[in-house]
Homo-oligomer: A and B are copies of this chain.
């Protein structure tokens, strides 16, 4: 991954093959160097501080974003709290809109650097590059699978199961990004994870404690988790067996 990134500058969209638990796969760059150069010309680089909003639900959508570094959270604001729909990492594309308005909000979970690609210019390029259509389809398929996996996670009844699935997902993504994976790095804070898992902060905290006390995981600190017993974690996450 880093090779490719270094050779060419400009927006990068990566696709990871769909995740079948247990099969580590590598992600590949969707855009050709030419395409990236083309996009780079119309893109500007923007920065956001941790916690800063990139856009809010309902804002007029004038651009899409492509993450260079940092982590972005997309979410819906509800009176009952937030519903986090995804965590986005380097290479992820976000901000696709509907009828000119963003349909969710996006916020920087860490400090973020991203390409900002104005919509009109993007549209012009898309019209002239049939190949990018295919890329868009691949990207949408990936998002769709992500959303379905999220739904599967949310359908789980036990907090520990949700957390186990989440940890395995994060580890998988980390691996696919080519990062070292001796331990799982969770850049986002607890409340965002809770909002992603459909749990309260307290329930999530207890779920962590449960896994730690059963020696299934250990945590160096709040953002660094190590898997001690992969078998048990797997059994918890796989929704195929039950155990306390």
Q: A residues near B, CB below 8 A?
A: 18, 76, 78-80, 83, 85, 98, 103, 130, 133-134, 136-137, 140-141, 143-145, 147-148, 150-152, 154-157, 198, 239-242
Contacts and interface: CB of A to CB of B under 8 A. Distances in A.
Copies of this chain held together in the complex: 2
A91 to B, nearest CB: 19
Given A18-B98, A144-B144, A152-B83, A157 B239 contact: no
Contacts of A141: 98, 140
A78 B130 contact: no
Contacts of A103: 18, 145
A138 to B, nearest CB: 10
B147 A151 contact: yes
24 contacts: A18-B98, A78-B239, A79-B239, A79-B242, A80-B239, A83-B152, A85-B148, A98-B141, A103-B145, A130-B133, A133-B133, A133-B134, A133-B137, A137-B140, A140-B141, A143-B144, A147-B147, A147-B151, A150-B151, A151-B151, A151-B154, A154-B154, A154-B198, A156-B198
Top 5 closest pairs, chain A to chain B, by CB:
A147-B147, A154-B154, A155-B198, A140-B140, A79-B240
A201 to B, nearest CB: 13
Given A85-B148, A147-B148, A151-B151, A157 B240 contact: no
Contacts of A130: 130, 133
Contacts of A137: 133, 136-137, 140
Contacts of A18: 98, 103
